[in-house]
């Protein structure tokens, strides 16, 4: 079941908005009735309910018409002027609507009671204005809240839209950066292998072509099978073994991986990050572990930071975190202890 937000109660396209208005009007009538200030409570209570109900419906309608279509792409000065003018129109519209509703209600009540209606307008101006003004001020107080909420809603929607557009741009930029960065590093390795170890270079090319095919086929997707991503990581590790032999160890423990999805190339970014920022020798290998923990894939490596440590900008992790938030709505969890660096990537079921 979809959760209701505050904005749903101001969206007149949805039944819940009208139900909320009815309930709120009833609550106000009950509160006024319990004060015991009015001797003619039954007719007054009913009239108050109808008047308040009609006013709220009109106020919310006017608010939507005036404030949900404000163009925030203009300069701050133009936006301020636009909002101010529309707020004045909103107040004028609410006052006019409240007056019409009040007079019509008086006409209707007198007609039902069989009384003379010829003096309704005169009586309103000379005798009923004070009562109308009090009720209208109460209604406008609610209207001011409606104005603030609708303007806030519009601002939040725009902010969310801009944030999503920014994240989408960053997501596409990152995916476009992965390919040339990975290819550049691989070609550097290949060029040295061709000279020193031609037979190893051939194996390297086979692995590289398989890995690059995976990147090309999946870089435009938002999610891939965890099983395929882990197979890709195994091949990526084999590629490093061609060059580094047993300096980098990899242990994968992910039962039922076929049941889950994950962001493409996300694990490769983390593995590459671990290799880049840690020492790896045969005596002290870099030990990488990938396993499922609850609804996350965990990438864990032992910390063996280089003596001449590269200054990390953490741009890769930041961009990955933004991608994760955009696609899954969850956060990338990053933990560092004295001995281990751990990153948890949300699974997509």
What is the Cα–Cα distance from 112 to 256, expressed in whole angstroms?
Answer: 73
Predicted local confidence at residue 30, as pLDDT: 78
Q: Is 343 exposed, middle or buried (0-12, 13-18, 19+ CB in 10 A)?
A: buried
DSSP string, 148-161: HHHHHHHHHHHHHH
Give the pair of three-digit tokens for residue 280. 């790896």
Best-predicted range by mean pLDDT (3-17, 133-147, 266-280): 266-280
Ramachandran sector of residue 2 (left: φ over 0; alpha: ψ -120 to 50; beta: rest): beta
What is the Cα–Cα distance from 261 to 138, expressed in whole angstroms?
Answer: 54
**CB-based contact 271:278 (threshold 8 Å):** no
Best-predicted range by mean pLDDT (93-102, 186-195, 246-255, 299-308): 246-255
Query: Is 1's pLDDT higher than 50?
Result: no
169 within domain boundaries: no
Helix, strand or coil, per DSSP, at residue 6: helix
| Whether 215 and 156 share a structural domain | no
14 within domain boundaries: yes
Rounded to the nearest integer, the mean pLDDT of the chain is: 77
Residue 348: CB atoms within 10 A of its CB come to 17
| Whether 119 and 214 share a structural domain | no
52 within domain boundaries: yes
Mean pLDDT for the stretch of residues 147-163? 65
124 within domain boundaries: yes
Query: Is 2's pLDDT higher than 60?
Result: no
**CB-based contact 290:267 (threshold 8 Å):** yes
132 within domain boundaries: yes
* Pairing between β-strand 286-293 and β-strand 248-253 as defined by DSSP bridges: parallel
Helix, strand or coil, per DSSP, at residue 296: strand
Mean pLDDT for the stretch of residues 300-324? 76
188 within domain boundaries: no
Mean pLDDT for the stretch of residues 300-309? 80
- In terms of pLDDT, which residue wins out, 230 or 183? 230
Please identify, among 105, 139, 161, the residue that sits at the C-terminal boundary of a domain: 161
- Contacts of residue 54, defined as CB under 8 A and 6 or more positions apart, other chains included, come to 101, 105
| Whether 217 and 142 share a structural domain | no
The residue segments making up the domain with residue 20 are: 6-161
| Whether 25 and 139 share a structural domain | yes
189 within domain boundaries: no
Predicted local confidence at residue 6, as pLDDT: 47
DSSP string, 280-303: --SSS-EEEEEEEETTEEEEEEE-
Task: Work out the pLDDT band at 309, boundaries 50, 70, 90.
Answer: low
Predicted local confidence at residue 14, as pLDDT: 74
| Whether 52 and 115 share a structural domain | yes
| Whether 143 and 211 share a structural domain | no
What CATH number should be reported for the domain holding residue 317? 3.30.565.10
The number of domains in the chain is 2
Question: Which residue has 């509160």 as its token pair?
Answer: 31
What is the Cα–Cα distance from 292 to 300, expressed in whole angstroms?
Answer: 11
Predicted local confidence at residue 308, as pLDDT: 59
Predicted local confidence at residue 12, as pLDDT: 67
DSSP-assigned letter for residue 127: I
Task: Work out the pLDDT band at 127, boundaries 50, 70, 90.
Answer: low
Query: Is 41's pLDDT higher than 50?
Result: no
Best-predicted range by mean pLDDT (23-32, 165-174, 182-191, 329-338): 329-338
Helix (H) / strand (E) element for 118: namely none
| Whether 23 and 120 share a structural domain | yes
Mean pLDDT for the stretch of residues 162-180? 60
| Whether 147 and 229 share a structural domain | no
Q: What are phi and psi of 206, to 5 degrees?
A: -60, -45
309 within domain boundaries: yes
Helix (H) / strand (E) element for 92: namely helix 76-113
Query: Is 36's pLDDT higher than 70?
Result: no
Please identify, among 161, 178, 213, the residue that sits at the C-terminal boundary of a domain: 161
**CB-based contact 245:256 (threshold 8 Å):** no
Mean pLDDT for the stretch of residues 120-126? 69
pTM exceeding 0.75: no
Please identify, among 110, 145, 161, the residue that sits at the C-terminal boundary of a domain: 161
Return the closest-CA partner of residue 305 out of 275, 346, 270, 345: 275
Residue-wise pLDDT for 231-254, tens only, equals 999 998 988 887 777 899 999 999
Return the closest-CA partner of residue 105 out of 146, 60, 135: 135
What is the Cα–Cα distance from 143 to 159, expressed in whole angstroms?
Answer: 24
| Whether 321 and 242 share a structural domain | yes
CA dist list (Å): 260 to 191, 218, 237, 289: 38, 16, 22, 18
Q: What are phi and psi of 287, to 5 degrees?
A: -105, 110
| Whether 97 and 212 share a structural domain | no
Predicted local confidence at residue 23, as pLDDT: 83
Predicted local confidence at residue 77, as pLDDT: 72
Give the pair of three-digit tokens for residue 5. 């937000």
Find residue 283's DSSP bridge partners: none
Least confident segment among 74-78, 93-97, 269-273:
74-78
- Cα atoms found within 13 Å of the Cα of residue 8, Cβ hemisphere only: 9
What is the Cα–Cα distance from 263 to 320, expressed in whole angstroms?
Answer: 9
DSSP-assigned letter for residue 278: B
| Whether 10 and 93 share a structural domain | yes
| Whether 18 and 148 share a structural domain | yes
Residue 185's Cα: distance from chain center in Å? 36
């Amino acid at each position: 079941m979809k959760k209701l937000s505050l904005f749903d109660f101001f969206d007149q396209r949805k039944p819940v908005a009208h139900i909320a208005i009815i309930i709120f009007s009833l609550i106000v009538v009950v509160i006024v009735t319990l004060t015991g200030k009015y001797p003619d409570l039954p007719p007054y209570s009913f009239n108050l309910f109808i008047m308040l109900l009609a006013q709220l419906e009109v106020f919310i309608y006017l608010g939507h018409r005036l404030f949900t279509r404000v163009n925030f792409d203009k300069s701050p000065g133009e936006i301020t002027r636009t909002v101010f003018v529309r707020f004045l129109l909103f107040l004028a519209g609410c006052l006019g609507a409240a007056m019409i509703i009040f007079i019509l209600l008086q006409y209707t009540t007198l007609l039902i009671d069989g009384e003379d209606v010829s003096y309704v307008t005169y009586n309103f101006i000379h005798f009923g204005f004070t009562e109308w003004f009090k009720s209208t001020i109460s209604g406008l107080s609610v209207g001011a809240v409606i104005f603030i909420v609708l303007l806030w809603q519009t601002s939040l929607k725009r902010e969310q839209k801009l944030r999503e557009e920014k994240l989408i741009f960053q997501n596409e930029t990152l995916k476009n950066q992965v390919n040339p960065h990975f290819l550049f590093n691989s070609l550097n390795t290949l060029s040295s292998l061709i000279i020193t170890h031609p037979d190893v270079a051939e194996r390297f090319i086979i692995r590289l072509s398989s890995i690059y095919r995976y990147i090309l086929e999946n870089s435009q997707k938002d999610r891939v099978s965890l099983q395929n991503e882990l197979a890709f990581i195994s091949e990526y590790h084999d590629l490093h073994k061609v060059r580094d032999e047993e300096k980098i160890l990899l242990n994968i423990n992910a039962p039922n991986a076929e049941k889950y999805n994950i962001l493409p190339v996300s694990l490769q970014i983390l593995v590459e990050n671990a290799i880049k920022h840690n020492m790896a020798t045969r005596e002290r290998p870099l030990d990488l572990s990938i396993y499922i923990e609850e609804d996350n894939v965990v990438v864990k490596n032992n910390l063996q930071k280089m003596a001449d440590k590269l200054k990390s900008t953490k741009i890769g992790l930041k961009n990955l975190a933004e991608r994760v938030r955009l696609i899954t709505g969850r956060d990338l969890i990053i933990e560092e202890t004295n001995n281990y660096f751990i990153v948890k990537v949300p699974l997509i079921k």
